[in-house]
Amino acid sequence: MRSLAALPLLAVVGVLAAPADINPALSNNSFVVSVGDGGYAYTPNTIVGAKPGDTILFEFRKGNHTVTQTSFADPCSPFINATTNTKGFDTGFMPFTEGSNELPFFQLKIMSTEPIWIACLQANHCQSGMVMAINPTADKTFEQFRDAAQGKTGTSSALARVATSSGWPALAGLGAMLMLLA
């Protein structure tokens, strides 16, 4: 296990055995999101009421998708904090092979009640509406976020898995810690 301190969200990337309904022991408040199972979709696409300490488990069930932190203002581009120049979390491409006995997953530990905006940055998936919101607000709704994403043009070919000098993906966000399981 490798860890980096002082990053805003706790994230874990790994593989679960057997792509059945797997729900490993998480915190008392956990949410499971299916990635790609219904086409270009996160199911559910909105989580309301996630609190610090809660866990979101993203299960990659079909295709080749990403779980990438974006912003409300720019739904189909990776999030970059303008003040600190730190990037948001990004799983990179997580392919799932039909018939595989392994289910790729990404685990996100919530560190605040602030909204988190997520998109799949596989070419044109975001523009097709493959977006998600955690704790959207009345002023910035999931529907507005999705509509903005679908109004975007182009592809995300510039998006590549961001790596640290150790070769591990750089998963950051709004202030906590990152952990990757090898």
Query: Above pLDDT 70, what percent of the chain?
Result: 68
- Contact between residue 12 and residue 180 where contact means Cβ atoms under 8 Å apart: yes
Predicted local distance difference test score (pLDDT) of residue 14: 52
**Per-residue model confidence as pLDDT tens digits over 119-148:** 999 999 999 999 999 999 999 999 999 999
Amino acid at 142: F
Q: What is the DSSP string of 30-73?
A: EEEEEESTTSS-EESSEE----TT-EEEEEE-SEEE--EEE-SS
160-170: burial string, b at 16+ Cβ within 10 Å, e else: eebeeeeebbb
Phi-psi region of 53 (alpha: psi -120 to 50; beta: other; left: phi over 0): left
Predicted local distance difference test score (pLDDT) of residue 38: 83
**Per-residue model confidence as pLDDT tens digits over 49-66:** 999 999 999 999 999 999
pLDDT at residue 8 greater than cutoff 80 = no
E strand residue ranges, 44-152: 46-47, 55-60, 63-65, 68-70, 94-96, 102-109, 116-119, 131-134
Q: What are phi and psi of 131, to 5 degrees?
A: -135, 165
The reply to whether the predicted model has a pTM over 0.75 is: no
What structural domains does the chain harbor? 2-180 (2.60.40.420)
Query: Above pLDDT 90, what percent of the chain?
Result: 61
Q: What are phi and psi of 143, to 5 degrees?
A: -60, -40
